[in-house]
Amino acid sequence: MCGIVGYIGAKQAQQILLEGLSKLEYRGYDSAGLAIYNGEVIQIEKTKGRLKDLADRLSVSELTGHIGIGHTRWATHGKPSDQNAHPHTDPETRFAVVHNGIIENYMELREELTAKGYHFVSETDTEVIAKLLADVDDGDLVSTVQKAVSHLTGAFALGVINQAEPDKLVAVRFASPLVVGVGKGENFIASDIPAILKYTRDVYVLEDGEMAVLTEDQVHLMKTDGTPVKRKTMRVTWDMETAEKGGYDHFMLKEIHEQPQAIRDTLSGRLKDGLVDLSGEISLLPQEIFQIDRIQIVACGTAYHAGLIGKYVFEKFTRLPVEVEIASEYRYRNPIITDRTLVIVISQSGETADTLAALREAQKSGAKVLAITNVVGSSVAREANEVITTWAGPEIAVASTKAYTTQLIALYLLATYFAQVLGTKDENECREVVKSLQQLPVQVEKTFDCETEIKELASKIADHEHLFYLGRGLDHAVALEGSLKMKELSYIHSEAYAAGELKHGPLALIEEGIPVISLATQESIFEKMISNIQEVKARGAYVVGIAKEDNTELQKTVDQVIYIPPIIDLLVPVLTVVPLQLLSYYTCLERGFDVDKPRNLAKSVTVE
């Protein structure tokens, strides 16, 4: 996730672009840059770091001109650096382009363009677009962009300017958000409405496969094949604070609803011909994978809960023994590590102190370390032997939501890839998993249908001081995450138990009216779960069940059922966590607490 802006009009572009980018820093903040045409050439200024670093540079060396594009980056391809920052250009700086999204076939295009003599200076997929524009240039900016786009596969929102046609700004959208702002004698593009709200409230929201051609006085919408598009502008009535949250009341709710796109992005470029392909991303050779005799997953908090699901999936798919370790305990217990151990560390920020220490301990003992992180260029990403990046984009709310789901996706991808290499799963089974993974974004969107019901449930449980979550197998791992979210946000004492453990002590805590959230999605152990639910019902608990929508049995036993769309049991955790996230969110609101900044907690835990 990155943020892009563009301006064409009578005013100086630099300040408008910087102000726009300042409203998009929630979309990325590891580098930033501008490209502005000054009447003779396209000037570029870009830098690693926050937008302030760019602004400081520009205060010394101002870019003048009335047309330009800008970008604030959340790295996916290539570490944060001046060279990898956008905008990117062709060798003669005829074209400048900013990009939000992922070009899946960029390596293939890069090889083709390199063979034609083009030299690349960055590690990004975006630079391919700039070189491709130069390669297919026919003297007309609009048709050149159309030709270039026809070669691209993936998700992208583009802003393009051309030295030869400085009276035009061209924008394109495929699966990444982009809006066009319409002013008087000036027009704008942006990844999100807040970036242009100071200047106009009249916008077009581009749809997939559409492009916009902006001049000072006009905006022309069309399909990328040139077919004209007729649409009225939308009038934005939100205030700025609401607009920054995309119309949502809080960043957490926005990030919960961003999960379908985050899943799409994390899958992007990693599936090929119906199977998982990580060969271009991790350097582990098949013979090295065959040498692995055990896996250790090390993480903290929410990432640890993702690791618990990873254990289940890896053992099922690879038949390798898997241990899941809390990072803060790992290095103090003298773990058994050999050169045949693969250690997988998971960290949203890539700066978690305990996880980083565990990584170093594992490497010191001879293990290879594979990191799953959301931040390219983070300490964990730099020091690990292998890295799989989750493309969740920046997560502003302290309580993790979309980072967790994308960690799950990364683990599913990795386990399936290992199974393909090892031959421990039939190819048809792997294809079925991949097919189901591709369905997940739509299934998560359907899961939001329960939101009104969840809001009503939150009002029922908000006055309770104790809450319990139950589950078996994968459901237990998700119950732990649901319970953690409830503790983090509502400050209700919440516990999650493996349902079969009730009779070994926790049943003593069940009393009349106490809420118990019971996950019952795993078909192979459903009857066992029903027995456990009956145990708490008999002691007076108010039981809320979570089940697939084709399950009609659970409602006979519980007080209320929340349904999720049907999916294979293995992938159910991606769906069941959504109502639990929403429940913690709405319970927090009912109790009057700060959703995005719960007390005593920080987003990145950089101390032991």
DSSP state of 166: T
Choice among 2, 300, 430, 450 that is catalytic: 2
Sequence-ordered list of residues with C-beta below 8 angstroms from that of 340, at least 6 positions apart, any chain: 291, 292, 293, 294
User: Could you confirm whether 603 is annotated as catalytic?
Assistant: yes
Residue with tokens 């702002």: 181
Please confirm, yes or no, whether 2 is among the known catalytic residues: yes
Q: How far is CA 394 from CA 119, 374, 380, 504, 550, in A?
A: 31, 8, 17, 42, 35
Q: How many CB atoms lie within 10 A of CB 44?
A: 17
DSSP of 88-140, one letter per residue? EE-TTS-EEEEEEEEETTHHHHHHHHHHTT----SS-SHHHHHHHHHHH--S-
Query: What's the CA gap between 273 and 410, in Å, rounded?
Result: 18
Per the CB < 8 A criterion, the answer to whether 341 and 294 are in contact is yes
Separation CA 233–CA 236 (nearest Å)? 9
CB atoms closer than 10 angstroms to residue 495: 16
Enumerate residues 6+ apart whose C-beta is below 8 A from 305: 404, 477, 478, 480, 481, 484
Residue 179 CB contacts under 8 Å (≥ 6 apart), including other chains: 189, 190, 191, 192, 193, 196, 203, 204, 205, 206
> Is residue 102 a contact partner of residue 268, using CB atoms and an 8 Å limit?
yes
Annotated catalytic residue, options 23, 485, 487, 603: 603
Closest CA to 204 of 243, 177, 167: 177
Catalytic residues: 2, 603
